[in-house]
Structures are given as structure tokens and as C-alpha cells.
Structure 1
Amino acid sequence: MNRYRRDREDVVLPCVLDDVVLLYHRASGQTHMVISPVPEIFEALADGVPAGARDVHARLSRTFDMGPDEDAVAAIDAHLAHLSALGLVRAA
């Protein structure tokens, strides 16, 4: 599985609106609407330390009842790949 990291905080600006989070990507000028679990996955990369899906799962497990579920790790990996394709995170 790939490892990903977030850019500096000013590259993608999040705006929380109830259950929806807007992620404004300054470089492209695009705003992406996301819902859970994407904001939580994005936030799990906030420390700037590169992480793979298993790492993100472990970080999220500290706050959420995730369990050791391989399906959850696969879903996180898919979300990370999609965020990377959008330019919101990048491969490390």
C-alpha cells in the first residue's frame, strides 16, 4: 500500500458545514465537498508524517471504534488514492 502526506495547511483549506466539509485546493482553485470518513482521513494526515492506510486506520482507531477490519483498511486506501488523484494529498 502507498504512503501519503498532506501539504502545508495553507494548500488545502477545510471549511466545516454541518455534516459536509468543503476542501478548497488553492493550486487548482477547486472546492471539493466531502463527507465522513474523508474529512477524518484527511485530518489523520494533518501532522505531516507520511502514512499508509494501516497507519491512518491506527490513528482513527484512537478516536473511533474501528476494529481491526481489513475492509476498513481497504476503504481507507481507496479514499487516500482518490484524495491523491484530486491533489488533496500526495504520495510520499
Structure 2
Amino acid sequence: MERDAIAACALDGMTLLYHRASGQTHMVISPVPEILDALDETRPASPADIHRHMSQRYELGDAAEAVALIGAHLAELAGLGLVRGL
């Protein structure tokens, strides 16, 4: 994700993401903003890398399940054009 490609605004437990290139606004909830922050902060290359980064800040539970969920979220974000394939 390029930092200037998306404008984010937190609002009552959700985050609005305005994708400048498409002109679309997406409403997301946790853990999507945290995943995007991890991508922005560390440029990890895989769901496992993101999990390692996020587990330093959050209690994520079962590692295999968390990595699978992160991968699913990344695939959805890539499908929306908000991140590039990792």
C-alpha cells in the first residue's frame, strides 16, 4: 500500500478508507486497519511476517488460525485494489 494512495479516518469502531485511485470509500473494522498499519510500518512479505509484527502489539490467539485470517484479509484487500499482491 502506498501511504498517499489511501486516506483513513477512524469513526465509531470502524475505519473509512478512501482509495484515491478509484474514488471509492471502504468501511472496515479490526483487524484490517491494524494489518494495513503493519504493512505500512514494516513492509512484510507474507501473512506470517504480518502476524509476527502484530503479535508484538496484540494478543492474536492461535498462530496458524491468525495467519490464515490475515492471509484472507490481504486477499480481500488486494481484490479491492487497496494492496498489491504480496
TM-score (ref. length: structure 1): 0.86
**Residue of structure 1 in register with 2:84 after alignment:** 90
* Alignment gaps of 5+ in structure 2: none
Among 14, 18, 30, the alignment partner of 1:36 is: 30
Gaps of 5+ in 1: 1-5
For the Cα contact (< 8 Å) 1:61–1:67, is it kept in 2?
Answer: no
CA RMSD between the two structures: 1.4
Answering whether residue 10 of structure 2 is matched by residue 16 of structure 1, we say yes
Percent identity of equivalent pairs = 53
1:41-80 correspondence runs (5 A): 41-47=35-41, 49-67=43-61, 69-80=63-74
User: Could you say which structure has the higher strand fraction?
Assistant: 1
Change (3 A) 1:48 1:13: farther
Letter in 2 for 1:69: A
For these two proteins, the number of residue pairs brought into alignment is 86
